Amino acid sequence: MRLFIALKIDDVIANTIDMWQEENKVPGKRVKKENLHFTLCFLGERPESDLDSLKEILTYTLKDTKSFTISLQGLGVLPRITEPRVLYIDVGKGKEALVNLAKQISQAIPFYEEKKPFKPHLTISRLKDYQEKPNLDNLWERKDSYSFGSFKATEVILFSSDLRPSGPIYTPRAICPLVD
């Protein structure tokens, strides 16, 4: 099964982002509001037998980790504006805490191999071709002015991901609360 560890976005913020995407005609394949999350650690294909040990690792690793506030502001693209493939919302407050949380989790999982350094970002759309770029240019002109609010990160979730043509289906496999 395909697994990843993430922070879900607060429902109010997810609704705000969803409405903003609609109003601004965000190009590409948009991430559904119920799927908005920060990936902390992508584990890829793992046997179902790993679930229990991953739950234990997360529970132990996060037992003293405090909840924190994340603010969402500004837009970014990956890999670069001249070749946009991913449109994301950037992190203001809470960026360092997100980086530390991802590092804490990735170091605790013995089989995890970090392929590239963690960059906190909230993917909102995937762009397939450059025909979508003109719509992106309009957003990009005001990229630093967008603000989507803030929320308190209170739990880390181990998800399985079932990829389908209609979009992925994420199923929580373990929920680990952060200390309030």
Instruction: Cite the DSSP H helix spans in 63-132.
Output: 95-108
pTM of the model: 0.93
Identify the segments of the chain with pLDDT beneath 70: 129-134
Residues in contact with 151: Cβ distance below 8 Å, sequence separation at least 6, in sequence order: 9, 10, 12, 13, 69, 70
What 3-state DSSP class applies to 2?
Answer: strand
Catalytic residue positions? 37, 121
Write down the pLDDT at residue 133: 64
Write down the pLDDT at residue 93: 96
Domain extent listing, the chain: 2-177
Nearest to 156 by CA among 105, 87, 84: 105
Degrees, nearest 5: CA angle 41-47-48 = 95
Give 36-86 pLDDT, tens digit per residue.
Answer: 999 999 999 999 999 999 999 999 999 999 999 999 999 999 998 888 889
CATH code of the domain made up of 2-177: 3.90.1140.10
Write down the pLDDT at residue 82: 83
Can you tell me the distance from the alpha carbon of 153 to that of 98, in angstroms, rounded to the nearest whole number?
A: 9
Write down the pLDDT at residue 84: 87
Which amino acid type is present at position 69? Answer: T
Write down the pLDDT at residue 132: 58
What 3-state DSSP class applies to 25?
Answer: coil
Q: CB-side exposure of 17: number of CA atoms within 13 Å?
A: 31
Determine how β-strand 37-45 pairs with β-strand 68-80: unpaired
Write down the pLDDT at residue 137: 81
Percent of the chain past pLDDT 70, that is, above it, reads 97
